[in-house]
Structure 1
Amino acid sequence: MRRYGPAALLLLTGGAVLRITLFGELYLRYVQAGLRPYLIVSGAALVLLGLVTVVVSGGGGGGGDGPEEEGNGSGHGHGPRVAWLLALPALALLLFPPPALGAYSADREAAQRAAQGVGTFPALPAGDPVELTVGEFSSRAIFDSGRSLTGRTVRLTGFVTHGDDGTWYVTRLAVACCAADATTGKVEVRGADALPADTWVTVTGTWRPEGALGSDAAWPPVVDAGTLTRVKQPADPYEKA
């Protein structure tokens, strides 16, 4: 078994990577869509390397029953057993892929805003409601000197997080590369009852200005809800940072 251990680890890891990239969109829980080709190449390379290792290990038999091997087995027996722990993350990814980051991850992070300063934003598309990401809405609400959100009906989609005193937010995590660098954007929702944390919703409503542009009082921005709809988690749960 020790002979084929490295090959098994390579095959498990490569198979797990290929499973989440070739046979669905699970990889979007962890990385940006643009990284898919690199994951496929990496997974295929690991599987190929594992198969080569099997062939090489299988062809290197004979002469393994002497005293030297026996001594190695008793003297270093813990090494291979501990090394098999490396298979656990690959098995977990293969059999039980973790969910996308949610309310817990969002609540752990303090409010972080882009250092873009107050300025004029491009005009919004014609027609209401206008579909915006949580990040786009937040940026315009906090920094847009042209007040482009005034009088417009917007539609935001995200998951529910809870604050103090009964406040709740439609929240989205933004990633630049992968889930490890995720940052939080959220919009306080007023005029609608909160749903349980991590419930995905679409909120249609209007912006309620709070505080001076660019100030702490303007964060988080507020939307007065007209309608609130429970929706399924999208295939790609993250916004692009």
Structure 2
Amino acid sequence: MRRYGPAVLLLLVGGALLRISLLSAVYMRYVQAGLRPYLVASGVLLVLLALVGLFRTARASALPANGGAHVHQHGHTPSAAGPRLAWLLTLPALALLLFPPPALGSYSAAREDAQDAARGVGTFPTLPAGDPVELSVAAFTSRAVYDSGHSLRDRTVRLTGFVTRGEGDTWYVTRLLVSCCAADATTSKVEVRGVQAPRTDTWVTVTGTWRPKGALGSSAAWPPLLNGATVKHVAQPPDPYEKR
């Protein structure tokens, strides 16, 4: 049975990739949506390689005993006993196939407590007419911290993210931003005041108005404030990350 190990491992990994990218949207917990075709192609290729390996191994096993021994003596049959520890590689593949981990949440966000202010202060495009205006958490934080035109003033905004907690009763609506995959995720968060904090990691939509804080472009302006009016519990979106 051990001679089938490499092929089985390829089959598990390929199946896991197809499970998260072709049969569901779980892959968006790890990478951007644009990488889906590459994940699907990789999964298909691994499955095909596994099937070829299984076929060749089964064919070699069916050779006559003396013929098989002759081939073995010349080193042309696959080893029936690969390193036993290699089977441990099946555990991550099975975990991804059967129990895909959740998207990054409050623990990941808590590891980044400050935001780089290197972008500098400047003017931003005019917001769409009508209130409330739907903004990403990253867009709100950028305008609140860097917009010299104060485009958020006197506007009602709607933000969606997950709940993280600070000291005391402080809480934030938070999103993680990715450039390529979850490994490069950074945090955007807005402190919400005036409404009761939901449970940590709960996904919510918060409606409220910007409350100016600190000098533009300074660390005192981070994280920005929102005077909350309403908080609504929502389901986690299929793509939990915002894009840069």
Sort the TM-score into its range (normalised by shorter chain): over 0.9
- Unaligned residue ranges in structure 2 (runs of 5+): 74-79
Aligned equivalent of 2:160: 157
TM superposition shift of 1:114: 5.3
For residues 145 and 95 of structure 1, what CA distance do their matches in structure 2 show? Answer: 49
Alignment partners' CA distance in 2, 1:170 and 1:29: 18
Give the Å deviation of 1:50.
Answer: 0.3
Partner of 1:4: 4
1:170 aligns to what? Answer: 173
Match of 1:73 in 2: none
Is 1:141 aligned with 2:149? no
Q: Secondary structure at the match of 2:52?
A: helix
* TM-score computed with the length of structure 2 as normaliser: 0.92
How far does the alpha carbon of each residue in 1:50-83 deviate from its partner, in whole angstroms, 9 at most, with x for none?
00111111122345679x89xxxxxx96x53200
1:115 Cα shift? 2.2
The CA distance in 2 between the partners of 1:131 and 1:100, in whole Å, is: 23
2:113 aligns with one of 106, 110, 113: 110
How far does the alpha carbon of each residue in 1:20-69 deviate from its partner, in whole angstroms, 9 at most, with x for none?
A: 11111111111100000000000000000000111111122345679x89
Task: Report the residue type matching 2:7 in the other structure.
Answer: A
Percent sequence identity over aligned pairs: 69
In structure 2, relative to structure 1, the CA distance for the partners of 1:90 and 1:117 (3 Å cut) is: same
| 2:3 match: secondary structure | coil
Cα-to-partner distance string for 1:181-220 (whole Å, 9 max, x where unaligned): 1101000000011111100000000000000100111000
Q: CA contact under 8 A between 1:2 and 1:80: conserved in structure 2? A: no
Distance 1:38 1:87 in 2: 22
1:238 aligns with 2:226: no
What SS does structure 2 have at the residue aligned with 1:39? helix
Q: Is 1:122 matched up with 2:119?
A: no
- 1:186 is aligned with what amino acid? K
Is 1:40 the counterpart of 2:40? The answer is: yes
Q: Which residue of 2 aligns with 1:95?
A: 98
Q: Is contact 2:143–2:151 with CA below 8 Å preserved after alignment?
A: yes
Q: Which moved more, 1:90-99 or 1:57-66?
A: 57-66
Cα deviation per residue 1:162-188 (whole Å; 9 max; x = unaligned)? 001220000000111111111010000
Alignment match, 2:49: 49
Residue pair 2:164, 2:173 contacting (<8 A) in 1 also = yes
What is the aligned length? 233
Give, as a single letter, the amino acid of the residue that structure 2 aligns with 1:45: L
* TM score, norm. by length of structure 1: 0.93
What does 1:210-225 align with in structure 2 at a 5 Å threshold? 210-225=213-228
Instruction: State how far apart, in whole Å, the 2-side matches of 1:132 and 1:218 are.
Output: 19
Q: CA RMSD in A?
A: 1.6
| Matched letter for residue 166 of structure 1 | D
Q: Match of 1:24?
A: 24
**Unaligned 5+ residue runs, structure 1?**
70-75
